[in-house]
């Protein structure tokens, strides 16, 4: 939100991949909702396998990123401060 793209990519390195995919999924869901499920052709089985493989890969990357952040990479772990720690 502040325009510091370099720091944002350090904190969220998968965002250039995940943001367009989430927007595309939301757009498709909105299209199916408005036009009905019959308006969208069912994907071929080869395409379904490819999409499933890509989905599993992205979930694995996100989990690996969380684990790396937990171990100190990409700006983590961040100390949690309670409101009652004054």
Q: What is the pLDDT of residues 16-48, one digit of tens each?
A: 888 888 888 888 888 888 887 666 666 666 767
Tell me whether residue 51 is in a domain.
yes
Tell me whether residue 76 is in a domain.
no
- The 10 Å Cβ neighbour count of residue 37 is 8
Q: Return d(Cα 73, Cα 11) in angstroms, integer.
A: 9
**Structural domains of the chain, count:** 1
pLDDT tens-place string over residues 66-80:
888 888 887 777 666
Can you give the C-alpha Rg of the chain in angstroms?
19
State whether residue 33 is helix, strand or coil. helix
Q: What is the pLDDT of residue 60?
A: 92
Tell me whether residue 77 is in a domain.
no
> What's the domain range around 13?
5-70
Continuous H helices in the chain: 5-11, 15-35, 45-70
Q: What is the pLDDT of residue 39?
A: 62
Q: What is the pLDDT of residue 72?
A: 81
Tell me whether residue 84 is in a domain.
no
Tell me whether residue 79 is in a domain.
no
Tell me whether residue 9 is in a domain.
yes
With bands split at pLDDT 50, 70 and 90, how would you rate the model's confidence at 64? very high
Q: Return d(Cα 47, Cα 71) in angstroms, integer.
A: 36
Tell me whether residue 34 is in a domain.
yes
């Amino acid at each position: 939100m502040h325009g510091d793209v370099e720091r944002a990519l350090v904190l969220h390195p998968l965002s250039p991949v995940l943001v367009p995919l989430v927007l595309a999924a939301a757009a498709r869901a909105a299209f199916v909702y408005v036009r009905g499920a019959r308006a969208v052709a069912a994907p071929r089985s080869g395409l379904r396998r490819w999409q499933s493989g890509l989905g599993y890969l992205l979930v694995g990357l996100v989990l690996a990123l969380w684990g790396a952040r937990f171990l100190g990479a990409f700006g983590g772990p961040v100390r949690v401060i309670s409101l009652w720690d004054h």
